[in-house]
């Protein structure tokens, strides 16, 4: 059963705005901890190493990376694996 509502143009516009805001809020990025990967700065902090040490670990293959465009990311699972192997 469909519901028909009557609204002024102003009320209709506000209802559409509210609906769009609600949908967009559901699409906001999740917290960084919930993402499956970290950028180099975040990964270095998680590993408790400097960026230069992280670069060395990447070059040696100890910490694998992947790229999206020109950006470099490290999977959180790979960070955890390195920490487990290390300690």
What pTM did the predictor assign?
Answer: 0.59
Residue 31's pLDDT is what? 44
The residue written with tokens 């699972």 in the block is 77
Residue 62's pLDDT is what? 95
State how far the Cα of 48 lies from the Cα of 53, in Å rounded to an integer. Answer: 10
CA distances from 77 to 2, 8, 23, 28 (A): 48, 53, 30, 23
Q: Which domains does the chain have, with CATH numbers?
A: 32-86 (1.10.10)
Task: List, for the chain, all residue ranges whose pLDDT scores fall below the cut of 50.
Answer: 30-31
**Positive or negative torsion for Cα 39, 41, 44, 45:** negative
Residue 2's pLDDT is what? 80
What are the tens digits of pLDDT across the range 17-42? Answer: 998 888 877 765 544 556 789 999 99
């Amino acid at each position: 059963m469909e519901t028909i509502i009557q609204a002024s143009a102003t009320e209709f516009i506000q209802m559409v705005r509210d609906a769009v805001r609600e949908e967009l809020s559901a699409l906001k990025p999740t917290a960084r901890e919930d993402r499956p990967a970290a950028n180099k700065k975040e990964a270095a902090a998680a590993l408790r190493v400097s960026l230069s040490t992280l670069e060395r670990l990447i070059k040696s293959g100890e910490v694998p990376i992947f790229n999206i465009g020109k950006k470099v990311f490290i999977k959180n699972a790979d960070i955890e694996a390195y920490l487990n192997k290390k300690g």
